[in-house]
Amino acid sequence: MAKNKTIYICEGCGYESSGWLGKCPSCGTWNSFVETVIQKKSAKSNSRAWLDLDVTSDQEAVVNLATIENADQKRLCSNIEEMDRVLGGGFVRGSLVLLGGDPGIGKSTLLLQTLANLTAQYSTLYVSGEESPTQIKMRADRLQIDTKQIQMLTATDFTSIAQALQKHKPDFAVIDSIQSIYVEEISAAPGSVSQVREATGGLLRLAKALNITIVLVGHVTKEGGIAGPRVLEHMVDAVLYFEGEKSNQYRILRAVKNRFGTTNEVGMFEMTQSGLKSVDNPGTAMLEGRPLNVPGTTITSTLEGTRSILLEIQALLNPTDFAQPIRNTQGIDRLRLNMLLAILHKSCGIATAPYDAYVNVTGGMKIIETSADLAIVAAVVSSMQDKPINSDLIILGELGLTGEVRMVTAIERRILEGLRLGWNKFVVPAACKRSIKNISLPDECEIFYVSLLKEALDLLFS
C-alpha cells in the first residue's frame, strides 16, 4: 500500500518543512508555505530497504562510455545565432530547457521565432496555456512568420499535453508557461510549487522517453506568489534567463546552467517592431549616437560572458547648496560610487562634496565589474571641471583605496576586441603590461600605462 505524506513547501524558494510555518527560515517570505502531498513507496519501506540488494537486476545499467553516441552532431540548430551560441551550438535532443524572465520581456516572442526557424527541418509543437491561438497568430503575423508548419495546442492540464506529445512525438516542443500547467491529481493551484514541480517532473520523463527537446517558459516574480523558475533549476538540463529593461530595446539571453555547454556565453537581442533581432555587433551597439568630445563621458569595456562590450559612462556633477549632496547611479552600484568619490578626494584632493553626482551607464546596461572604476572617476572629474576627455580612448582599471590603479581581468581580450572594432587608444593599468606584451599589436595602437589615479587624471586632462 502506498502511503501519503504531507509536507509544506515555501513557494518562494522551495524550502521544505514538516509543519506549516508563518515565515520561511530560508528566504524570509511570510505566509508562503503550501501543503503538498507526496506519495511514498511502501514496498520495502523499512529503513534497511537498501540493504536488500537484488543482484540480478540493474545489470544493464553499467555501460562503457566509449559506446555512447555523441549527441553533439544531432543538435537542433535554430539558426538564430545568439540563441544557438548560448546553448553551446543548438538544442540537444531530448533535453529539457527552462527559459526564465520577467513577464513581458519577450520570452514568447523569442520562442515563437525559434520554433518557426526549426519547423523547416523538424516537427514542432507550441503548447500555450496563456494565450489563445488568435493571439499567437497575431503575434506570428507581426513577426512575419510562416505559420503553415506550426502546430499548436491550447491546454493547461498536464494529461492532455502529455497525450499530445505522445501522439505527435514532435522533435521540439515549447510549453508556455510552466506556471499555467496543472496536474489534476494535485489539489494545489496552478503555479504553486507542488504543481510546477510535478508538471516539470512529468515533462522531464516525457522528454527523455520520447527524445523530445522541450523548452519550458517560467515567469520570474519578485513576490514569490507564483513559484518562480528557481525551484526548477535543479531538475532541468539548462536554464536560460532573458533579461533587460522593458523600456530599453536591448535584451540579454544568459545561461545560468547548461549541461551541454558553457555558462559563459551570452546572446544579445534587440526588440524591434518585427520581433527580436540578433545584435550583430554587440561590441559597439551601446555606443550609437554618443556625443563626441563633450565633458562627462568616457568609454570602457565590460565582459559579458566571453565577449567584451564597449559601454559609455556618463557623469553629471552639479553644484548644490545642500549639506547632503545627491548620489544617483544607473547601472553601477551607488555604494561603489561613494567609495570612488572618497578615493578621488583622498588621493587627488578633488572634493565632490559640493556637487550632486549622477552617473549613468547608457543603453540600460549594468556594470558589475570593478574594471570600470577608472572610467567612472574620469567621467566624474571631466564633468566637474568641464573638460572633455578624448572620445577615442578606452579606459580600463580598478581603483584601490590608496588611489592605485589595479589590474583588470582578460585585458588581452578587451584590447583585441577594441582593436577589432576600430579603437586603438587604451588607458590601462601598469600591472597589465606583462599580459599585453604577449599580444601582437598593430603600429597605430597606443597603450598608456598608469599606476596611480593622479597619474591617470594628469594624462587624461593634459
Contact between 107 and ligand TYD (CB under 6 A)? yes
Q: By CB under 6 A, how many residues form the interface with ligand TYD?
A: 15
Query: Counting contacts by CB under 6 A, is residue 108 touching ligand TYD?
Result: yes
Select from Mg ion, ligand TYD, none the partner in contact with residue 139, using the beta carbon and a kind-dependent cut-off of 5 to 8 Å: ligand TYD
Stretch that binds ligand TYD, among 256-264, 271-279, 381-389, 446-454 (CB under 6 A): 271-279
CB of 76 to ligand TYD, least distance (A): 21
| Residue from 429, 436, 386 nearest 404 by CA | 429
Of 34, 96, 271, 375, the one binding ligand TYD by CB under 6 A: 271
Which of Mg ion, ligand TYD, none sits in contact with 103, Cβ below 5 to 8 A by type?
ligand TYD
* Min dist. Cβ of residue 12 to ligand TYD (A): 21
CA distance 117 to 171: 13
Minimum Å distance from CB 34 to Mg ion? 24
Q: Which residue, 109 or 371, has its beta carbon nearer to Mg ion?
A: 109
- Report the 3 state secondary structure along the chain: CCEEEEEEEECCCCCEECCCCCECCCCCCECCEEEEEEEECCCCCCCCHHHCCCCCCCHHHCCCHHHCCCHHHHCECCCCHHHHHHHCCCECCCCEEEEEECCCCCHHHHHHHHHHHHCCCCCEEEEECCCCHHHHHHHHHHCCCCCCCCCEEECCEHHHHHHHHHHHCCCEEEEECHHHCECCCCCCCCCCHHHHHHHHHHHHHHHHHHCCEEEEEEECCCCCCCCCHHHHCCCCCEEEEEECCCCCCEEEEEEEEECCCCCCCEEEEEEECCEEEECCCHHHHCCCCCCCCCCCEEEEEEEECCEEEEEEEEEEEEECCCCCCCEEEECCCHHHHHHHHHHHHHHHCCCCCCEEEEEEEHHHCCCCCCCCHHHHHHHHHHHHCCCCCCCCEEECCEECCCCEEECCCCHHHHHHHHHHCCCCEEEEEHHHHHHHHCCCCCCCCEEEEECEHHHHHHHHCC
Stretch near Mg ion under the rule CB under 5 A, chosen from 53-61, 104-112, 321-329, 363-371: 104-112
> Rule CB under 6 A: is residue 103 a binding residue for ligand TYD?
yes
Q: Is 156 or 370 the residue whose CB approaches ligand TYD more closely?
A: 156
φ, ψ of residue 334 to 5 degrees: the values are -65, -35
Q: How far is the CB of 275 from ligand TYD (least distance, A)?
A: 4
Choice from 14, 129, 218, 275 touching ligand TYD (CB under 6 A): 275
Number of residues that bind Mg ion (CB under 5 A): 1
> Which residues, numbered 109-148, are part of the site for ligand TYD (CB under 6 A)?
109, 139, 142-143
Question: Measured from the CB atom, is 139 or 454 closer to ligand TYD?
Answer: 139
Give the nearest distance from C-beta 180 to Mg ion in angstroms: 10
Whose Cβ is closer to ligand TYD: residue 238's or residue 367's? Answer: 238
Query: At its nearest, how many Å lie between ligand TYD and the CB of residue 118?
Result: 17
Quote the least distance from Cβ 279 to ligand TYD, whole Å.
15
Kindly state the smallest distance separating residue 343's Cβ from ligand TYD, in Å: 41
Q: CB-wise, 112 or 203, nearer to ligand TYD?
A: 112
**Contact status: 195 vs Mg ion (CB under 5 A):** no
**Taking the complex as a whole, how short is the minimal distance between the CB of residue 125 and ligand TYD, in angstroms?**
17
Is residue 108 near Mg ion by the rule CB under 5 A?
yes
Q: In the complex, which residues of this chain contact Mg ion (CB under 5 A)?
A: 108
Q: In the complex, which residues of this chain contact ligand TYD (CB under 6 A)?
A: 101, 103-109, 139, 142-143, 271, 273-275
